[in-house]
Amino acid sequence: MIKIRDLTFEYFDRDDEGNLTEMVNAIRGINFDAGEGEFIVVAGVNGSGKSTFAKILNRLLLPIEGTVLIGGLDAMQEENIIPIRKMVGMVFQNPDDQLIGSVVEEDVAFGAENIGVPHKELVKRVEDALAQVGLSASMRIEELSGGGKQKVAIAGVLAMKPRCIVLDEATSMLDPKSRRDVLQLMKELQKQGITIILITHLMEELLLADWIYVMHQGRLAMKGSREALFAQPERLREFGLELPMTVLLAHALAERGCVRTKDLFSVEAIAERIYKEHPYAFLKEKTMEPASVDKKTKVLSQAIVFQHVNLSYGKKSILNDVCCSIEKGSYTAIIGPSGAGKSTLLQMIPALISPTDGSIYVDGMEVTDTSADIATLRKKIGFIFQYPEQQLFAKNVYEDVVFGPRNVGISEVEAEKRAYEAIQFVGLPQDVYDLPMDKLSGGQKRRVALAGVIAMQPDYLILDEPLAGLDPVGKKKMLQILRALHRDAGITVVVVSHDADAVVEDAEQVLYLRDGKILEQGAPSDVFYRMWLREMEHMTRDKHSKMNGEQMRDRSTGRLSEDTLAEAICELPGCMQLLIRLRIMGLPVSCKHTQLAETVQAIVDAVGR
């Protein structure tokens, strides 16, 4: 399907007079092959050339040197641009970059209509594509969450019926269930002979690949199967990547003698292997651990408090009777599916959005009161949006970070001091101070936005999906920064996140939001476990549902079917997913561990190793 040899691409910068000022070697000498129906993952840190490579596959960029054959067509030839774009569908990281319609149906039809699909077939293609991603044709795009918009972009590509689909970080903004649905869909399309090329920073997604390509500084650094690459963890770390949690679990259990092989690439495979090697440890009578009930904590006066908050747009309810509190100096994570109202809830804290009714208090101030001093309130709150690059506007890094302090009435000397300290704190090198924003990677832009907020010395730091789209190195650095701000500086941190493993690492409190309601609130391990029990109750409650009885259980084992179980646990941390599987199979082990070491020890103790 795709054959690339000695691919080279360079970016050129010119001044206003057209003189060459800079040349960047984005891709250098890459060889790449993708056969019909293969699932290939391209990984690498921010700035390694992955997105540039993706755009060449779709002929959005023209290589400087090399051979690029797509479906036998030479990508260097001008007359092949349209045929290649019909063959290769592209889904970008930020769906706003490729959505043009106001209604879902209109946007999904756009691409197929422009390649000449007859009207009758176009209608059928749009219906089929929307059914595959689970969206309604009449939805307005402006009302969709980031995850919902990404599904629209994917549906638009599906309606074009390409032979190859390239996803450039397309799952990074999706919630776990939506991500699972999209990846399952890609696996189904692969079975139909469609080539899938997934560019990702999410290491768990490497487990799906037939072949993995690792890019570093524009070059091909590693290539191979899962078994070959995951056997070289030190080399992966050399290029800024880490082993997926599933692989870390398999390796740790193999080292402790619980399993005889470490080549296990799903929590299902690990659980089955433990059962196969230690059947005597599994009980015939299978019971689930009871859920713990959180004690009501005293609400402090110096806190963020929501009291019976509602928000509606016309007949559409966004938030419904939200009641919660966030203590001063705490670290709180808000989780839940796309479209649950998480971003809206965050934006109500600095009064960027006002509720339909109900009250919100910050440090005792009722921000929903029309007489509230909103300017004073916002000086206390640092806010990082879901796409932080959209809040960067100055000509270079330093000017962007110093802008806030300069406008709050402090001296120029103090403003400069704050800016330099903030840039240093987020780990950006001195040579970026004068760089324009378009020279920065996605991870660097996120840190610049954070530096601008830190320079304001807020009491509260509110971040909407701060880890989305970051490579493992960037993610680790961001978590270290947030940890230092919370533990050392005493700043109250509130984050929205879809990354369960990151949430349990630092959060002291978790709020689970779904359909505009807070369904769970408490300690991370307790909330995630109650989410699992709630999900299973939801799936089994209606005896007349399609998901009941025989369809929910494997006839040969009597256990929950793999599809049912995988869907029910996909929002949970990786360690908890494995423990729940083992508990269902009869291993007497607590399901509430969320860290690698304690999870492995619990399993070792349970099997008597």
Query: Which residues have a Cβ under 8 Å from the Cβ of 310 and sit 6 or more positions away?
Result: 317, 319, 320, 321, 322, 355, 356, 357, 358
Q: Does domain 2-241 have CATH number 1.20.120.1080?
A: no
**Residue 12 pLDDT:** 76
Distances in Å between the alpha carbon of 157 and those of 92, 139, 202, 361? Answer: 11, 18, 22, 45
Q: 15 by DSSP, 3-state: which?
A: coil
**Residue 432 pLDDT:** 84
Identify the CA nearest to 229 among candidates 206, 204, 197, 205: 206
**Residue 559 pLDDT:** 57
Helices (H), 211-291: 226-230, 233-238, 245-255, 267-277
DSSP 371: T
pLDDT digits (tens, 9 = 90+) for 247-277: 999 999 999 999 999 999 999 999 999 999 9
Under 8 Å between Cβ of 245 and 597: no
Rounded Cα distance between 491 and 425, Å, is 14
Rounded Cα distance between 3 and 34, Å, is 7
**Residue 536 pLDDT:** 80
Under 8 Å between Cβ of 150 and 170: yes
* Radius of gyration from C-alpha coordinates of the chain: 25
Domain boundaries, the chain: 2-241, 246-291+543-607, 303-522
Rounded Cα distance between 468 and 197, Å, is 20
Helices (H), 40-116: 50-57, 81-87, 104-114
pLDDT digits (tens, 9 = 90+) for 491-511: 999 999 999 999 999 999 999
Work out whether the CA dihedral 345, 346, 349, 350 comes out positive or negative.
Answer: negative
**Residue 166 pLDDT:** 95
Q: Name the stretches of the chain with pLDDT < 70.
A: 14-15, 20-21, 293-302, 539-560, 609
* CATH code of the region 303-522: 3.40.50.300
Rounded Cα distance between 73 and 88, Å, is 12
**Residue 294 pLDDT:** 60
- Burial label for 83, CB within 10 Å (0-12, 13-18, 19+), is middle
Question: What tokens were used for 534?
Answer: 């709630």
Q: Name 210's bridge partners.
A: none
The angle subtended at Cα 491 by Cα 486 and Cα 494, nearest 5°, is: 80
Query: Which residues have a Cβ under 8 Å from the Cβ of 375 and sit 6 or more positions away?
Result: none
**Residue 446 pLDDT:** 85
Distances in Å between the alpha carbon of 33 and those of 6, 16, 69, 206, 225? Answer: 12, 40, 10, 17, 14
